[in-house]
Amino acid sequence: MDIQSPDRAVRLAVDLVNTRTLEPEQLTTPARLRTFLLEHGEPEPVDVDEADLNAVRAVREAVRPVFHGDSPARVLNELLEQYAVRPYLSDHDGTPWHLHVARPDASWAEWLAATTALGLAAFAAGHGFDALRVCAAVDCERVFAHAAEKRPRRFCTPRCSSRTRVASYRARHP
């Protein structure tokens, strides 16, 4: 349980929040959570139970406001204060050097909170909170991270962007 790269932690945060949007809940069972962690590069053994599932869902809702621009710096500082420890480098089990920010005995939820909070904090410090967003499509609530360009991206995908463009064209030309 570690941070191999800040990008990975940001992707983890985005994907975690997007497990529940306007679309149906994806983290419905411990097995689903286990699959989510494995798909995000966590090595076996990944053992999770119902308590882990509930705690991870709570962390997900604690992280969500960061993307909604709801006092994001305060939210991240609170998560870091509560879950992160002094960072330390490790090359345990023959892995490449990587940074740990959660306690060695952290639960999955505590590890996710510390890792995603540090990843998002580093990303926001580099790109601004404008780069962490909720999709602007009316029927979409997915969040995304996108390093700011001249015009910050507004939609999670080109699909949401073109759907919104078509809808507003139809509204103007009934």
Q: How far is the CB of 139 from Zn ion (least distance, A)?
A: 8
Q: Give the residue with the Cβ less far from Zn ion, 23 or 47.
A: 23
Q: How far is the CB of 15 from Zn ion (least distance, A)?
A: 14
Q: Give the residue with the Cβ less far from Zn ion, 79 or 156.
A: 156
Which range of residues in 35-43, 50-58, 83-91, 158-166 is near Zn ion by CB under 5 A? 158-166
As separate numbers, helices (DSSP H) first and strands (DSSP E) second, the chain gives 6, 4
Rounded to a whole number of angstroms, the distance between the first and last alpha carbons of the chain is 54
Contacts of 149 (CB under 8 A, 6+ apart): none
Binding mask 102-141 for Zn ion (x = CB under 5 A): ---------------------------------x-x--x-
Beta strands in 83-167 (DSSP E): 88-90, 98-100, 132-134, 143-145
Count of residues touching Zn ion (by CB under 5 A)? 6
What is the Cα–Cα distance from 82 to 125, expressed in whole angstroms?
Answer: 20
- In one-letter notation, the amino acid at residue 4 is Q
What is the Cα–Cα distance from 167 to 120, expressed in whole angstroms?
Answer: 33
Which range of residues in 43-51, 83-91, 93-101, 155-163 is near Zn ion by CB under 5 A? 155-163
Q: Which residues bind Zn ion (CB under 5 A)?
A: 135, 137, 140, 142, 156, 160
